[in-house]
């Protein structure tokens, strides 16, 4: 039995390591290219840069563009959106998982149905609804559509259903109400799922381009994806060194967030996966 386990583990590593290297290779190319001059980037492929101390691309990015401002804008929008999801998604999911009311199944069906609607379909209706309210070049217009995630509601509902109802019954017998039970019993036991929602929502909002690019047109209001896209001017020569360096700056928060919460991430996606 142990021999079989060892051989199956070895085969798994043989398969997974090349896949992991293949997936990480583009990130390495982006990282090493940020330390190369444009002439070297577009001329020929080198596995290593001539010098890891070549920082002119990063220096030029900060000198030519307000990338610090764009970084702060993206961070503010993403953090508020994450907080909104961590507040509203548990409330909606708890109602769908534990409460009984008319239209409950229909409401859950609507939540699931929104998952199959492409984001591009919602852009024009959102713009027609928010632009007349004077929310052009306003972070509120970018944050509002991301305050609640249907996928987050779905994940939390499944996680709540997987928790034994006896936990709540014991809390009710001790005098807890619904709200106190939610925050004292249910949410602490669904922490991995909440962390997963936080990571996924932060990644989505941080990298969102289409909707913010329609609403945020002023230079000082741009987010990082919009700002990086503006590097490509009418000139036929794209400053790839600057684009790549700015992209490295943009992915750092995502990588740090994932490594900080990775132990919760997979567990959060699988909690309640078999519960209907």
Q: How far is CA 244 from the centre of its chain?
A: 20
Note whether residue 91 is domain-resident: yes
User: Is the pLDDT assigned to residue 275 strictly greater than 60?
Assistant: no
Nearest CA among 42, 20, 161, 37 for reference residue 99: 161
Note whether residue 22 is domain-resident: no
User: CB–CB of 146/83 below 8 Å?
Assistant: no
Note whether residue 15 is domain-resident: no
Residue range(s) defining the domain that contains residue 227: 58-270
Could you read off the pLDDT of 215-249 as tens digits, one per residue? 998 888 999 999 998 887 645 677 888 888 999 99
Output the pLDDT for position 273.
52
Task: Give me the DSSP letters along 239-253.
Answer: -HHHHHHHHHHHHHH
Note whether residue 70 is domain-resident: yes
User: CB–CB of 176/112 below 8 Å?
Assistant: no
pLDDT tier at 185 (50, 70, 90 boundaries)? confident
Instruction: Identify the residue with better confidence: 5 or 26.
Output: 26
pTM assigned to the model: 0.84
Note whether residue 244 is domain-resident: yes
CATH number at residue 89: 1.10.3720.10
Contacts 24+ apart (CB under 8 A), 254-257: 254/202, 254/203, 254/206, 254/207, 257/199, 257/202, 257/203
Output the pLDDT for position 1.
52
Note whether residue 36 is domain-resident: no
User: CB–CB of 230/61 below 8 Å?
Assistant: no
Q: What is the residue whose two structure tokens read 């249910």?
A: 186
pLDDT tier at 187 (50, 70, 90 boundaries)? confident
Nearest CA among 196, 203, 201, 195 for reference residue 252: 203
Output the pLDDT for position 268.
61
- Percent of the chain beyond pLDDT 70? 91
Count: domains in the chain:
1
Nearest CA among 203, 185, 191, 159 for reference residue 264: 191
pLDDT tier at 49 (50, 70, 90 boundaries)? confident
Note whether residue 46 is domain-resident: no
Could you read off the pLDDT of 72-97 as tens digits, one per residue? 999 999 999 999 999 999 999 999 98
Q: How far is CA 177 from the centre of its chain?
A: 33
User: CB–CB of 247/30 below 8 Å?
Assistant: yes
pLDDT tier at 67 (50, 70, 90 boundaries)? very high
Q: What does the mean pLDDT of the chain come to?
A: 85
Output the pLDDT for position 98.
87
Q: Provide mean pLDDT across the span 158-169.
A: 84
Note whether residue 10 is domain-resident: no
Could you read off the pLDDT of 108-162 as tens digits, one per residue? 899 888 888 888 888 888 888 888 888 888 999 999 999 999 999 999 999 888 8
């Amino acid at each position: 039995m142990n021999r079989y386990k060892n051989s199956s583990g070895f085969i798994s590593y043989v398969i997974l390591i090349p896949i992991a290297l293949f997936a990480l290779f583009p990130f390495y190319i982006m990282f090493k290219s940020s330390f190369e001059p444009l002439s070297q980037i577009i001329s020929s492929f080198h596995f290593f840069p001539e010098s890891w101390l070549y920082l002119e691309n990063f220096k030029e990015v900060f000198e030519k563009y307000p990338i610090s401002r764009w970084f702060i804008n993206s961070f503010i929008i993403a953090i508020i959106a994450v907080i909104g999801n961590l507040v509203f998604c548990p409330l909606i999911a708890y109602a769908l998982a534990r409460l009984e009311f008319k239209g409950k199944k229909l409401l859950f069906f609507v939540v699931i149905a929104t998952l199959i609607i492409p984001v591009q379909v919602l852009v024009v209706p959102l713009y027609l609804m928010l632009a007349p309210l004077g929310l052009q070049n306003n972070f509120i217009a970018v944050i509002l559509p991301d305050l609640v995630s249907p996928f987050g509601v779905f994940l939390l509902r499944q996680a709540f259903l997987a928790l034994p109802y006896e936990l709540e019954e014991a809390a009710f017998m001790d005098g807890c109400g619904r709200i106190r039970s939610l925050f004292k019993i249910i949410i602490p036991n669904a922490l991995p799922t909440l962390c997963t929602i936080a990571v996924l929502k932060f990644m989505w909002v941080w990298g969102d381009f289409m909707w913010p690019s329609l609403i945020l047109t002023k230079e000082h209001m741009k987010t990082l994806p919009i700002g990086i896209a503006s590097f490509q001017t009418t000139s036929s020569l794209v400053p790839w060194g600057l684009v790549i360096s700015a992209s490295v700056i943009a992915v750092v928060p995502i990588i740090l967030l994932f490594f900080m919460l990775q132990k919760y991430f997979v567990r959060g996606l699988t909690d309640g996966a078999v519960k209907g």
